[in-house]
Each structure stands twice: as structure tokens, then as C-alpha cells.
Amino acid sequence: MKPRFPSNEGEARQPREANGRAGSPAAFVVASQRPRRGERRAVASVAPVVAAPAPRLCVVGLGNIGSQFVDHLARLPGLAHVLLVDRDVYEPANLSAQAVSARDVGRPKAMVQARRLRQLNPQLQVETFAGDLESLPLGRWRGALVAGCLDSLHARQALGERAWRVGSAFLDAGVDPASGLARVTCFLPGPDRPCFACGLDDRDYAALGAVHPCAGPVPVPATNGSFALGGLAAAWLALECERLLRGRPDPSLAGREVLLETRTGRLLVSRRARNPACRFDHRAWTITPFAGLTIDNSLADALRLAGDLVGNHRPFPERLNGKDPGGARLTGKGRMIPRSAEVTFRLPGQRLAKALHCPACGAMVERFQVVDRGGPRTCPHCETGALAVVGFKVVDCVGHHLPAALLRQPLRRVGFRAGDVLAVESGRRTRYLQIPENR
């Protein structure tokens, strides 16, 4: 049966950062002439000229397509900043179909390609993330064109959803070696526009299945595409990036899919339509800075500050780290509780584990952390077992229902990162606040 290319859910409005060209802010001074005697001295006026934000590009997946796409990245006009994302390392089997050398075997893909990119274009600002794309703070996707070179349906769905949430354009590239096909699909979020999930049906969702926090990383089958086929997809992906980085994207690009048939030499262009039965809600979030919060603050601090920003009760004192309990209200049973108890926050797409289990010795280790962000999980009791997440020890949000000892922990220790977007909920109201990045 011929493999299908499910449409990608990463539609996104083109970010403002991608609408201009790279440049540095400039200013010019309009100085008055030397005043004559008796005249009032004119004050020099400064008229700032604000340059357009430098275009940014996030590349996810550095295998058959992504490794060859790096050569084009170094030469994209106007590009100033690149973020490379891949959790894997290169293996000997990758040498025949990916742009790597023997010395790169065993090294993280993101690091290898970052080195190549800096050598090709030293002027580019290059960052890397050698982990799951789900673990990358959502704020890092904002204001960037997102290019996906993935062969996992689960990863493509996750990437498309994140790009849509933050309003970023999403290009999805793929190959079908059995049919000799290369494909690039463009998604731009907006009313009545298709997303990645619009192309998924019941069979696709059955293949995705339920991903449990204790299951570990989702295995990804090898693409087995040739070097030439991956290079064809990478070249067309670069051309599409040029179009989107050149300025505000043409609305006609939304949902456009270009399919290159190497066996017949044909180029087929089609357009995906919005699926009324799509399981994705097609909402782009309005994200604002979480003023006053850093990852060194405690969870309790975050709850108090969130209560201030929600604005449905009186502000709390600015003193943090448990030095001042803040305001309080009287419940119907006469029990005093903090006013911020009505506020909770969560990390969309992530869950929190209150304890980890060691299958080797059976110990239950009390440790509050974001699932898949806790670092090494060696059991402190037997020192050999690998700690695992237990389903009934997982929570979705942070609130005053949690023990006070847990709420005293710093965000950093729990696994929150600068750039994370928190969903702050109070009653029926939800606000999306980004932990500031000090960069």
C-alpha cells in the first residue's frame, strides 16, 4: 500500500521577526544650528530608526533531509539566527545518506550540524537543543519560522501543534523512498486555514496511540531515504524558506503541498483544506511575559505572582520565597486560606511527577519534577536501578492542593526552564505567561 503523507498541523501566522531583514538598530540626530545671540538654544532631537527584527529559523530533525538543509541555511539571504533541534546521535548507518563524516559518529546531531553551520557562515547566531522537541520551552518557538524534517508522525504532530500555538509558520518536509517522492507542505495559521491535524484520520490517531509518561521516548523508524532524495527535499525546503523570510507570506501558501515525483519527473501542487472534524482546536495563544518571575523563584512564589497577574483579587506583597504569606480570605467553613489558592498553573504538554519508582529495589522516591526533565534517575537507595514515572503519582497542575514542602521548591529544581509558557488558570479564565529569558 502506498504510504500517505498526512498533512501537518503547524499552521502559523508569519511572525513579525520574519517580516524584515537582518539589521542593527540605528539612530540619527537632527541638531539645530548654532543659536544667535538672544535666541533660545534648540535642543537636539533624536529620532530613533527601529530596524526590523532579524529573521529566525528553527530546524527540527537533522537526519536525511535536515543535515543537507544545513548547507542551504548558511546561504539563506537575511537569516540571522538558527536553532537546531534533534535528540539523537549519528550512527554508522547514517554515513551513506546524511551529510556527516566518520568522525561525527556517536556525536549529537545538533552539535555536529551547528559546527558545520558556523564554519559555513560565521556570521550566523547558532543555538542547539539536543533533546525532545516537547521539552524545548514553548517560548523558544515564538517569532521564528519552523522547519520540520521529521519522519515520526508523533513528532510532526507535536511540532505542528506548538508552531500553531505561538503563531509561527511551519514548513514540513518529508520523503517516501519506496515511491521516490519528496514533499514540502506549508502551514500558516489563521481563520479557516488547515493545520497538520486536519490531514489525520482515525487510522493515523490509532497509529499514534496513547503516549504515557512512563513509556519513555517514542521509537522512530528509519527513513531509509537516499542521499539524493533527501537533498531534493532539502533544496525545495530552502526555496520555501526564502519565500517566507522575504516578507509577509502570501495567504495562498497556507496549506500548499508540493510533491516531487522523481520517477516521472513531475511536480504536483495541491492544497490542503480545513477539516471541520479536526481534533485540534485551531487556537493560537496570546502569550505575555510573566513579569517578576524567574526560575529561581519557588512554586509558591509563582502562585502568588500569578494571582497578581490574573487580577481577580487584591495584589500580594512583593516579598517572595515564603517570607510573606500574602493576602487571605475566609472560607465558608471559617478556614483561612491564601487568596492565591484559587489560582493554578500548568505546563502545557507536560506533566509533573510527585514520586518516582525503582523497579530494581521497589523503593518509591519522593521527587517533584517535570516528567522527562529531571535529569539522571538513578535510585539513591540501590544506586543501580533507573527510576521510572508511576501513573498514579502524576499531576497536571501546580496549586495550593499540593503539600507545602513541594511548593517551597524552586522552579529550576522541578524542571521549569526560562522560556516556558505557563497556563495560569483562575476559574474559567486562562492566561498564557512566558517565563522571561535572560539572553
**Do both 242 and 385 map to the same domain?**
no
Domain membership of residue 61 (yes or no) is yes
**Do both 222 and 311 map to the same domain?**
no
Domain membership of residue 418 (yes or no) is yes
Q: Where are the beta strands (DSSP E) in 197-348?
A: 256-261, 266-271, 287-289, 328-330, 336-338, 343-346
Please name the amino acid found at residue 297. N
**Residue 78 DSSP code:** T
**Do both 223 and 294 map to the same domain?**
no
**Do both 72 and 157 map to the same domain?**
yes
Q: What is the mean pLDDT of the chain?
A: 80
pLDDT at 26 over 60: no
For residues 11 and 195, the answer to whether their CB atoms sit within 8 Å is yes
**Do both 306 and 215 map to the same domain?**
no
Q: Work out how many domains the chain is built from and give that number.
A: 2
CATH of the domain at 155: 3.40.50.720
Domain membership of residue 232 (yes or no) is yes
**Do both 149 and 267 map to the same domain?**
yes
Which position has the higher pLDDT, 252 or 149? 149
Reported pTM? 0.78
- CA distance to 110, 171, 301, 351, 433, per residue, from 408 (Å): 35, 42, 8, 19, 21
pLDDT band at 222 (very low <50, low <70, confident <90, very high): low
Domain membership of residue 88 (yes or no) is yes
Domain membership of residue 210 (yes or no) is yes
Domain hosting residue 98, numbered range: 16-24+46-271
Domain membership of residue 119 (yes or no) is yes
Domain membership of residue 30 (yes or no) is no
**Do both 301 and 248 map to the same domain?**
no
**Do both 243 and 307 map to the same domain?**
no
pLDDT at 37 over 50: no
**Do both 291 and 217 map to the same domain?**
no
**Do both 262 and 125 map to the same domain?**
yes
Phi and psi angles of residue 384, each rounded to the nearest 5 degrees, phi first? -130, -35
pLDDT band at 391 (very low <50, low <70, confident <90, very high): confident
pLDDT at 275 over 80: yes
**Do both 55 and 183 map to the same domain?**
yes
Bridge partners of 329?
337
Task: Give the residue-averaged pLDDT of 4-19.
Answer: 36
Domain membership of residue 31 (yes or no) is no
**Do both 360 and 423 map to the same domain?**
yes
pLDDT band at 364 (very low <50, low <70, confident <90, very high): confident
pLDDT at 17 over 60: no
